[in-house]
Structure formats: structure tokens, C-alpha cells
A = this chain, B = another copy of it.
Amino acid sequence: MPHGYGYGSPWWHGRFRGCGYRITVPRQAILDFLSRTSKHMSAEDIYVGIHKTFPNVGLTTVYRTLELLVEMGLVFKFDFGDGRARYELAMGPKGVRHHHHLVCTSCGRAIDYTDFIDEEKELLARTEKGLSEKYNFRISNHLIQFYGLCDKCRGK
């Protein structure tokens, strides 16, 4: 099997071992679950999602694991303004899934978009460089979100 991780250890085992973190059932369950969806999941969504298969993984552990994954850079954490954080796998075997969000201020739905990323990337790189120098900031990340009304909510 050239490329792909169908058999053998999942690709992220090395990252864990390298950081001295243990590979546990809840962590595998959560990463596996996240890798099977492209939606924006809340901690509770994930808890519910794995509960059928792993009934003894608690919500606390989901929160703790997500915090760890965010800190490791494996997961992105977003705030769409409804008071609960959303999580998404940052990258898979194929690399970083770079995208931004269109958030509906009425129903809270968030749509991923990857359009215009190339021009955007170029501008962002320049902006980051300029800002880093001017404010002596080490920029590691950015967030772009557009807000508005989705097609369903437009008709009032």
C-alpha cells in the first residue's frame, strides 16, 4: 500500500509518542470520529457521536482531549458566536485543509469555503510579514470569517 494509512498505525501515533502523550481509547475514538466527518462539531456532538460505540468515554475527557489536540495543532477550534466552540480536524494524511467560514447570523450554520484562497494567501503572507515586523509579533495563525444571511434565512 503505497501512500495511505489503511493498515498499520494511524499517522498521528508518531506525533503523540513524540510528545510523550499516551495513545488511549478515548483519544483514538475522538480522532477517528473527527476524521470521519467534515462538519463543525461541538464537544457534545463528539461526545454523543462516539457514545454508542464507546459508552464509557465521558464528556470531560472529550473536552480534555480536544484541548490537547488544539494545542498540538491537530485540531482547529472555532467560535461561530452561539456560545459553544466547534472543532475540526486541521489536517489529514493529505495535508492541511485550509479554508475559512461563511457564518449565518440567523441560523448559525457555517459553510466552508476554499475559494479565492490563492490570492488571499498571497495578501495574508504579506500582511503577516508586515504586521510581524511592525508590532514585533510572532504570528502563527489567522482567522477569517464572513457573516451574513444564508439562502434559507434570506427570505426572512
Contact = CB atoms under 8 A, between A and B. Distances in A.
Interface in A90-119: 102, 104-105, 111, 113, 115-116, 119
B142 A145 contact: yes
A67 B141 CA distance: 29
Interface string A21-50: 000000000000000000000000000000
Nearest to A140: B148
A59 to B, nearest CB: 18
A136 B105 CA distance: 14
A147 B154 contact: no
Given A139-B146, A143-B147, A154-B138, A119 B123 contact: yes
Nearest to A126: B116
Contacts of A113: 131, 134-135
Contact of A151 (B115, B120, B131, B137): B137
A145 B150 CA distance: 23
- State the 8 A-B residue pairs at the shortest beta-carbon distance, nearest first: A139-B148, A136-B151, A141-B147, A138-B149, A116-B127, A143-B145, A140-B148, A142-B146
Interface of A: 79, 81, 102, 104-105, 111, 113, 115-116, 119-120, 123, 126-128, 130-132, 134-151, 154
16 contacts: A102-B137, A102-B139, A111-B137, A115-B134, A116-B130, A119-B123, A127-B146, A128-B146, A132-B148, A136-B154, A137-B150, A139-B146, A142-B146, A143-B145, A143-B147, A144-B144
